[in-house]
Amino acid sequence: MSAHNRGTELDLSWISKIQVNHPAVLRRAEQIQARRTVKKEWQAAWLLKAVTFIDLTTLSGDDTSSNIQRLCYKAKYPIREDLLKALNMHDKGITTAAVCVYPARVCDAVKALKAAGCNIPVASVATGFPAGQTHLKTRLEEIRLAVEDGATEIDVVINRSLVLTGQWEGSDFIKTSTGKETVNATFPVAIVMLRAIRDFFWKTGNKIGFKPAGGIRSAKDSLAWLSLVKEELGDEWLKPELFRIGASTLLSDIERQIYHHVTGRYAAYHDLPMS
Amino acid sequence: MAATRAGPRAREIFTSLEYGPVPESHACALAWLDTQDRCLGHYVNGKWLKPEHRNSVPCQDPITGENLASCLQAQAEDVAAAVEAARMAFRSWSVHPGVVRAQHLTRLAKVIQKHQRLLWTLESLVTGRAVREVRDGDVQLAQQLLHYHAIQASTQEEALAGWEPMGVIGLILPPTFSFLEMMWRICPALAVGCTVVALVPPASPTPLLLAQLSGELGPFPGILNVISGSASLVPVLASQPGIQKVAFCGALEEGRALRRSLAGECAELGLALGTESLLLLTDTADIDSAVEGVVDAAWSDRGPGGLRLLIQESVWDEAMRRLQERMGRLRSGRGLDGAVDMGARGAAACDLVQRFVREAQSQGAQVLQAGDVPSERPFYPPTLVSNLPPASPSKGSSSVPWPVVVASPFRTAKEALLVANGTPRGGSASVWSERLGQALELGYGLQVGTVWINAHGLRDPSVPTGGCKESGCSWHGGPDGLYEYLRPSGTPARLSCLSKNLNYDTFGLAVPSTLPAGPEIGPSPAPPYGLFIGGRFQAPGARSSKPIRDSSGNLHGYVAEGGAKDIRGAVEAAHQAFPGWAGQSPGARAALLWALAAALERRKSTLASRLERQGVELKAAEAEVELSARRLRAWGARVQAQGHTLQVAGLRGPVLRLREPLGVLAVVCPDEWPLLAFVSLLAPALAYGNTVVTVPSAACPLLALEVCQDMATLFPAGLANVVTGDRDHLTRCLALHQDVQAMWYFGSAQGSQFVEWASAGNLKPVWASRGCPRAWDQEAEGAGPELGLRAARTKALWLPMGD
């Protein structure tokens, strides 16, 4: 991640001045999904772009080096080569933005990616994911260890008890949720976050990234997220440095759509490699 | 890999991430036009009417200019045929039980549901509006409208007992309109049992399609007839015998002209004029959401017109920055493209907005345009106009066209109300504020028909939509929409009272001079003398008097001869009293009316003896006094339960249906029932919070003046003003007064015609008796719900909720 939040004096009066009208935001969220659609080549190109924003994620208790290895391979070759060739996109070096794993699997991921000969960053969730309710000391140690293992991006779970009592923390990216909640990435919440990112940029010149995570499974969803960011923040936010989608099954649906776009047929399950 | 459908552009799009076209196929719209051989006539009595030797107008794609079909233009005889069909259909349609009508409307809703693609592609193709808006908004709402009104029809016998359908309704639609505007009006009309003849502008196929869908349902072919023709047919349709009401929707000046030309004619007139809306952005608003409100109002294909935007000075810069940012992301293009915010509305609309913007620029306004918009005509980019000098003509008179937003600053909420209410328009407005108290204060204070709090442009079939002031006072949707097409049962059908030789310039202009007719004689004490203005008896400006004779021809007394200056003074006094009185609770108003009732009873013997001198028997005279007192009490009590809360599908939170006072109400009382009619009109007018200027019975104004003696001690000054004198002259002064908000006239046919004509000035709602006597002692005519409906206006206040 190139841009870093240089930080600013904490001024809580900003936050207290912010007004969010809930029903109006809900209406906007409904509209945004209906007002922008992309079809045909545009859809294919947008979907390929979406691939480059994916933090390809596995966060299961039973993750082992073998499925991590498969994940990393998929991150390097997210779309079947012949499909990319048909779109004349095979030389664009399309990979996912990162792979995202538990701290204990960072080593496996780094190794697998090195073996595949690519420099896709490894992101690690850390700091007592997903609750964040562990001691500061162990949380910091967790980050340190993950970085030592080769993780270059850390998804920190902030201590929400501090937020709820008004003690905020800063970051380069903000994420809708851990993906482990009952309600995860929703448009209304995203709209509020994106507007906050824009306000922060207008006030300080710092660009903060945005990562929706959890529940984004279909190619259509991913397109809606792209247009949401495009509409609320503009094209300059549509790059992996500032926008990520945390997802595990999204990629295979995108690949199916690309398959359909290229061939005009719907793919069978076995037509596309698993991740 | 066999056939590859990938085009060469994917690489570029991958880098630019631009939007592409999302074309909606309009093959079915063209196929439907083909069924008519690309030649559309009129749809009358369940059949296509394609008379020979008619001019035809091409129906063009507003964007490509491609000829889609040719449309025959109606002539007067076609209009007559349609009205005749509607008249025949009315005979059966109106007498069927409500459930039968409900069934028919429900079936129409189902047909629309089954053929919605045809409907939305055709509408988008010919109007140029964004297909997404038509598909997701209009077509769905059209079905909801039919369902809602089907329910109203099915409960009509109980819920609307005492009312009956008016008859044949003539509906006139403006050159650019959404078919939804037609649905809003035909649904209530059909539901209550009226039948409709809609005159649509040339080349509007969608209403014809709707009429066809309705006609093909079978048993009631003639209830909805659509003819297309030029604006020159408007007076033809309006003056067609058998048309009981004309619902006109269109431009202000056309509405005004129609009001004048329909004076004295058979048809009643309902006006819905202008399209401009208003948005108030306060410094406690969620500005980003308010900006979306601006988009909904003016920079989308949702609203019909432009927007006046008032921004609180302290957030002006912030709001302007966000507006500009948002504008830049708007997309305009062919309406049939599924991913555009705005389509184009044809060459005429484009000319209109170009003129407006050029004019604004020449006055030094700052004009900002942005967005992804094709550069060629008839596309026009979203436009933000600011720094328009306050007194400039384009701000005051001409209404802001789509897609223009005219922004101006205000300092305080109080000032915002002054600015917002300082125009002749009274359509719709939204208030953006996160402070509940402030939002409600502004919502209640705005003189408009609809107010949305923290939202803009929401609509629902159960919520009345309409306006006040020069936006016209007709309503659609909700209970108010139904009453537009109903009249109290037993009211005779409206007939023309047109007197061709009535000279509007001279009617009531001169006051006949009166000479002393001797001293007052008789047993009663000398009657009070003077004009009752501002709470006290005043000498008339003309310093002359008019003799009043009793039934035996003797002089009963002299009353002051009021004139134009006295009317001016009375209206001023009434305006001064208005804010205080309108701000009183219904309970406080009732208390005062009850006090007046008690005073009337105390004065019973004097009043009865004066009535006796007018030839009323003592018993009847006493009964009249008692009934008058009862009327005051009844209205005081009735007004306690006014307005109510509506629950709307899809909205969390209530919509309040408020009943607000009209303002200063002018009442010209009938000659007969000099006491009862005076009180019966005064009571509902005051109960609903209006202040009143009354011209009492010309035959015997003395009764009203007796009551004034009590009003002088009980009422705040200016609440009720009574001006005696020459009836025609006073009527003229009141009807032409631009600052009188409504007028009730009970008098001659000629006077009624004059009042209807003169009301075009400020488009005040008028209620004229047209020379028909009224049974004031009967409950239905003397104190029926009609009076309550006419004594106040509705406002819908939307209050969406959320944490």
**Contact yes or no for B160/B192 (Cβ under 8 A):** yes
Using CA atoms, how far residue B188 sits from A81, A238, B183, in Å, is 61, 50, 9
Alpha carbon distance B802, A29 (integer Å): 14
CB contact under 8 A, A19 and B284: yes
Q: Supply the pLDDT for residue B391.
A: 65
Higher pLDDT: A131 or B113? It is: B113
pLDDT band at A183 (very low <50, low <70, confident <90, very high): confident
- Say which DSSP state B493 is in: P
List the single residue in B with minimal CA-CA distance to A21.
B286
Q: Supply the pLDDT for residue A74.
A: 94
pTM of structure: 0.94
Q: Give the DSSP per-residue string, A223-242.
A: HHHHHHHHHHT-GGG-STTT
What domains does chain A contain, in order, with CATH numbers? 12-263 (3.20.20.70)
Chain B: closest CA distance from residue A29 (Å): 11
Phi-psi region of B203 (alpha: psi -120 to 50; beta: other; left: phi over 0): left
pLDDT band at B5 (very low <50, low <70, confident <90, very high): very low
Q: Supply the pLDDT for residue B8.
A: 55
Q: Supply the pLDDT for residue B397.
A: 58
pLDDT band at A177 (very low <50, low <70, confident <90, very high): confident
**Preceding amide of B378 cis, omega within 30:** yes
**Contact yes or no for A32/A228 (Cβ under 8 A):** yes
Mean pLDDT of B59-83: 94
Where exactly does CATH 3.40.605.10 map onto chain B?
A: 32-275, 531-798
**Contact yes or no for B167/B90 (Cβ under 8 A):** yes
List the single residue in A with minimal CA-CA distance to B284.
A19
* A158 CB within 8 Å of a chain B CB: no
Alpha carbon distance A223, A45 (integer Å): 10
Q: Is the pLDDT of residue B96 over 90?
A: yes
Q: Do strands B67-72 and B163-165 pair parallel, antiparallel, or not at all (unpaired)? A: unpaired
Q: What is the pLDDT of residues B239-255, one digit of tens each?
A: 898 899 999 999 999 99
- Say which DSSP state B652 is in: S
Q: Supply the pLDDT for residue B523.
A: 61
CB contact under 8 A, A49 and B6: no
Q: What is the CATH number of domain B531-798?
A: 3.40.605.10
Q: Which CATH superfamily is domain B282-422+428-466 in?
A: Aldehyde Dehydrogenase; Chain A, domain 2 (3.40.309.10)
* A270 CB within 8 Å of a chain B CB: no
Burial annotation B728-758 (CB, 10 A radius, 16+ → b, else e):
bbbbbbbbbbeebbbbbbbbbbbbbbbbbbb
Q: What is the mean pLDDT of chain A?
A: 90
ipTM for this model: 0.91
A 90-129 → B contacts, CB under 8 A: 92
Retrieve residue B464's tokens: 């009345």
**Contact yes or no for B27/B68 (Cβ under 8 A):** no
Percent of chain B with pLDDT over 70: 98
Retrieve residue B63's tokens: 């964007």
Element (H, E) at B57: strand B56-60
Phi, then psi, of A68 in degrees rounded to 5: -65, -40
Q: What is the pLDDT of residues A136-166, one digit of tens each?
A: 899 999 999 999 999 999 999 888 777 777 7
Q: Where are the alpha helices (DSSP H) in chain A?
A: 12-17, 22-35, 40-51, 65-76, 81-86, 106-116, 136-148, 160-164, 187-204, 219-232, 250-263
Q: What is the mean pLDDT of chain B?
A: 93
- Say which DSSP state B137 is in: I
Where exactly does CATH 3.40.309.10 map onto chain B?
A: 282-422+428-466
pLDDT band at B393 (very low <50, low <70, confident <90, very high): low
B 337-356 → A contacts, CB under 8 A: 338-339, 341
Residue B206 burial by CB count (10 A; 0-12/13-18/19+): exposed, middle or buried? buried
Q: Give the DSSP per-residue string, B72-123.
A: EPP-HHHHHHHHHHHHHHHHHHTTS-HHHHHHHHHHHHHHHHHTHHHHHHHH
pLDDT band at B793 (very low <50, low <70, confident <90, very high): very high
Chains A & B: contacts with CB separation below 8 Å:
122
* A28 CB within 8 Å of a chain B CB: yes
- Say which DSSP state A213 is in: B
- Say which DSSP state B737 is in: -
Q: What is the pLDDT of residues B359-383, one digit of tens each?
A: 999 989 999 999 999 988 889 999 9
Mean pLDDT of B299-320: 94
Kindly list the catalytic residues of A: 175, 211
Instruction: Give B-chain residues touching A264 at CB under 8 angstroms.
Output: 3, 5
Q: Is the pLDDT of residue B50 over 90?
A: yes
Using CA atoms, how far residue B290 sits from A224, B127, B370, B466, B802, in Å, is 22, 28, 18, 23, 16
Q: Is the pLDDT of residue B395 over 80?
A: no
B269: nearest Cα among B261, B277, B279, B280 = B261
pLDDT band at B392 (very low <50, low <70, confident <90, very high): low
Q: Supply the pLDDT for residue A162.
A: 79
Q: Is the pLDDT of residue B643 over 80?
A: no
Higher pLDDT: B63 or B796? It is: B796
Instruction: Give A-chain residues touching B17 at CB under 8 angstroms.
Output: 45-46, 49, 226, 230, 235, 238
Q: Name which of B140, B288, B431, B434 to mutate to probe chain A: the one with the most chain A Cβ atoms within 10 A of its Cβ.
A: B288
- Considering only CB atoms, A38 lies closest to which of B20, B290, B802, namely B20
Alpha carbon distance A78, A249 (integer Å): 12
Q: What is the CATH number of domain B32-275?
A: 3.40.605.10
Mean pLDDT of A222-251: 95
Q: What is the largest CA-CA distance in chain B?
A: 114
Q: Is the pLDDT of residue B17 over 70?
A: yes
Alpha carbon distance B660, B791 (integer Å): 9
Q: Where are the alpha helices (DSSP H) in B477-539?
A: 478-483
